[in-house]
């Protein structure tokens, strides 16, 4: 399983893109940095997009992807929870801001939206997908993606503390999770449903208690202005926990 980090941050600039991951070139997780990272032919190879929640930095490229596919007489399957469907249809793809790519147009809907139910595993091609609720300021799910060879990654999306129920249900080789701010913003993290290095540490200690191992961890959704602080704080924690915790960057690839 090859995981490409197309976007790894929570703000966009020439040097940073919003969170988007790509599994084996065909399965996208979140759509903050999809269209600006992929050529047209790579976009046409996408089989599905899994969205974690409705916040703009995670759904931004869905309208743009819709237009690119529409102009190529192509379509795509997008999976998420009902609140994401509502946000896309009410605010973005409503024929006012942009075309209704989720509705039947000539030749069928460009974006075929599928509602996922937390805890109910489903298949996309050879992959098993398990959506699990995470603790954010709006309804949100993380996804465990398991390949046909049995390799698993869990992508949490945006989340705050309180992942024990999630941990009980998964056994991934790799966790991709957010750390938005450094420890001095812990109060913000607790209020808004985000993680800091020390909040992540508590979650990882819970994971170890429940599962008796710790997977490698890759961090996304960093505030670029706090990245060096986050990195220093995380490296101390990785030393204490004895596992690998690395910050993702745009263009990074991992072979599981």
Could you tell me which of 92, 42, 95 has the C-alpha nearest to residue 69?
Answer: 42
Is 60 a binder of Zn ion (CB under 5 A)?
Answer: no
Residues 190-249 that bind Zn ion (CB under 5 A): none
The sheet with strand 27-29 has its strands ordered as 111-115, 76-80, 48-50, 27-29, 20-23, 2-7, 253-255
Which residues in the 146-165 window bind Zn ion by CB under 5 A? Answer: 158
Q: Where does this chain touch Zn ion (CB under 5 A) — which range of 55-63, 102-110, 125-133, 237-245?
A: 55-63
The rounded distance, in Å, linking the Cα atoms of 242 and 250 is 26
User: Are 35 and 64 a contacting pair, CB within 8 Å?
Assistant: yes
Task: Return the ∠ at Cα 198 (arms to 195 and 203), rounded to 5°.
Answer: 70
Beta carbon nearer to Zn ion, 57 or 229: 57
Among 31, 54, 57, 226, binds Zn ion (CB under 5 A): 57
Stretch that binds Zn ion, among 40-48, 53-61, 104-112, 197-205 (CB under 5 A): 53-61
Size of interface with Zn ion, in residues (CB under 5 A):
3
Minimum gap (Å) between residue 32 Cβ and Zn ion: 7
Give the Cα separation of 147 and 84 in Å (integer).
25
Which among 50-58, 117-125, 223-231, 246-254 is the span making contact with Zn ion, rule CB under 5 A? Answer: 50-58
Q: What is the DSSP letter of 149?
A: T
Where on the chain is the footprint of Zn ion (CB under 5 A)?
A: 55, 57, 158
């Amino acid at each position: 399983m090859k995981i490409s980090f197309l976007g790894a941050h929570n703000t966009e600039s020439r040097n940073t893109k919003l969170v988007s991951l790509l599994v084996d070139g065909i399965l996208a997780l979140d759509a903050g940095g999809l269209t600006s990272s992929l050529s047209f032919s790579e976009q046409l190879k996408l089989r599905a997009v899994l969205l974690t929640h409705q916040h703009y930095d995670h759904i931004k490229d869905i309208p743009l992807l819709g237009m690119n596919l529409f102009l190529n007489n192509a379509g795509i399957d997008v999976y998420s929870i009902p609140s994401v469907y509502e946000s896309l249809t009410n605010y973005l793809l409503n024929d006012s801001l942009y075309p209704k790519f989720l509705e039947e147009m000539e030749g069928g809907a460009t974006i075929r939206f599928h509602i996922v139910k937390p805890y109910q595993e489903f298949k996309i091609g050879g992959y098993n997908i398990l959506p699990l609720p995470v603790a954010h300021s709006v309804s949100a799910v993380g996804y465990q993606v398991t390949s046909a060879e049995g390799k698993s990654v869990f992508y949490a999306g945006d989340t705050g503390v309180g992942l024990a129920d999630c941990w009980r249900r998964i056994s991934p080789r790799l966790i991709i999770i957010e750390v938005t701010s450094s420890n001095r913003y812990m109060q913000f993290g607790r209020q808004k449903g985000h993680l800091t290095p020390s909040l992540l540490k508590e979650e990882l200690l819970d994971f170890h208690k429940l599962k008796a191992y710790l997977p490698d961890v890759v961090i996304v959704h960093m505030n670029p202005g706090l990245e060096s602080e986050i990195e220093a704080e995380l490296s101390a924690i990785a030393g204490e926990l004895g596992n690998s915790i690395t910050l993702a960057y745009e263009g990074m690839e991992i072979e599981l």
